[in-house]
Amino acid sequence: MSKHARAAATLPVDGMERATSEGWTFPARSPATGDVLWQLPDAGVDDARAAARAAWRAFHETPWSTDSALRVDALGRFQDALVARSGELAQLLAAETGVPVSLRAAHLDAPIAGLRAVPHASPGVTAVITPATSPLAVAIEEVGRVLVAGGTVVLKPAPETAGAALELGRIALDFLPRGVLNVVSTRDVDVAIALTLDDHVDEISFTGSSVAAHRVQVAGEQAGKRVRIDVGGTVTVRAADDADLGAVVSAAAVTVAANAGQGCRLPATVVVPAHRYAEALHAAVETMAEVVVGAPAEPDTLCGPLRSPVARDRVLRYLALARAEGGTVETGGQALDRDGWWVAPTVISGLSGESRLVREEILGPVLMVVPDARPGPSARA
């Protein structure tokens, strides 16, 4: 990886590796086994403020924001370094977050390729707060959006995925000017709020849950910041009467099984013509039976573990709710009996379009197949 040692449990802030002000750390655990992988720096509010000051100085007191040639050169070399180390980053994602290496194209390669895309940002200091789902993809896309426009960044990743974000920051130390990209990992939710309130921060970019997003948006807007929010959402696919039903249902099943369904805007519900309901269920169950569940580092794995015991238990609660709402588990529906945090790829029938499982994001490998209750032919997807 980078020449900067991960074992040091330090923050890449202001162009250097630095210990947290209070010396706290927290363990990164393998979602596949539950074992401790390494220790991560657990930053406090003072560390967040130091990172914001460093980003402010880089924006206001260096040529970064005004010298486009400098940015093109530095970002080009940074992008080349990420490409060169992408295999190791994919293995790090697999170890720390459970993202299978077979999915690296979407989770790593495409975001790196788009790092220097045309900017859609107002220059300034941006606090980028990223989720535990698609962790590096969101981080790279948002960091690239800001840096290309001449802005600077304080990146605060979700604690379950902090190691990958810290490695991104460590690689950047060798290619980006001091203070342009700073990474702060922490378990303390107040650190994110401190960033939204910091006078040195101009913009907040938040991707994550709607509950946390509301808190960040209110705090940021009251502090006069620009706020960008992405909370994902549910997606329902409607199959038309004359659709290739097997293809529609199978594609949805594979998509929600990939990375154990941990992603935004996945087609977790397929609404099918009522008279073809049995056909759709058969296709869904057959497809889920063929999904390779296994170690994230294995090249054939499609469905790995959930990223944490909290994420696994969230999915299991939704499965219990499905049964309480009258749903039937056609396949899967339980935690797997192995170390780590696993849920079997699942198909649920018997729910209506008003079910909470249809209306809310489950973030697990769960597909609902729902008969179209509307009279007449089904609308096309």
The token pair at 357 is: 């499982």
Q: How far apart are CA 161 and CA 93, in angstroms?
A: 8
Domains and CATH numbers, the chain: 6-230 (3.40.605.10), 236-371 (3.40.309.10)
pLDDT at 3: 52
Q: Full-prediction pTM beyond 0.75?
A: yes
pLDDT (tens, 9 = 90+) of the chain, 381 residues, equals: 555 445 468 999 999 999 999 999 999 999 999 999 999 999 999 999 999 999 999 999 999 999 999 999 999 999 999 999 999 999 999 999 999 999 999 999 999 999 988 677 688 999 999 998 888 999 999 999 999 999 999 999 999 999 999 999 999 999 999 999 999 999 998 888 898 899 999 999 998 888 888 888 888 889 999 999 888 788 999 999 889 999 999 999 999 999 999 998 899 999 999 999 999 999 999 999 999 999 999 999 999 999 999 999 999 999 999 999 999 999 999 999 999 999 999 999 999 999 999 999 999 999 999 999 876 554 444
Residue pair 366/256 in contact (Cβ under 8 Å)? The answer is yes
pLDDT at 179: 98
pLDDT at 378: 44
pLDDT at 204: 94
pLDDT at 379: 40
Which distant-in-sequence residues (6+ apart) come within 8 Å of 374 by Cβ? Answer: none
Kindly state the helix (H) or strand (E) to which residue 38 belongs, with its residue range: strand 36-41
Q: What share of the chain is helix, strand, coil (3-state, %, to 5)?
A: 45, 15, 40
Q: How far apart are CA 261 and CA 189, in angstroms?
A: 25
Phi-psi region of 49 (alpha: psi -120 to 50; beta: other; left: phi over 0): alpha
Q: How far apart are CA 145 and CA 70, in angstroms?
A: 16
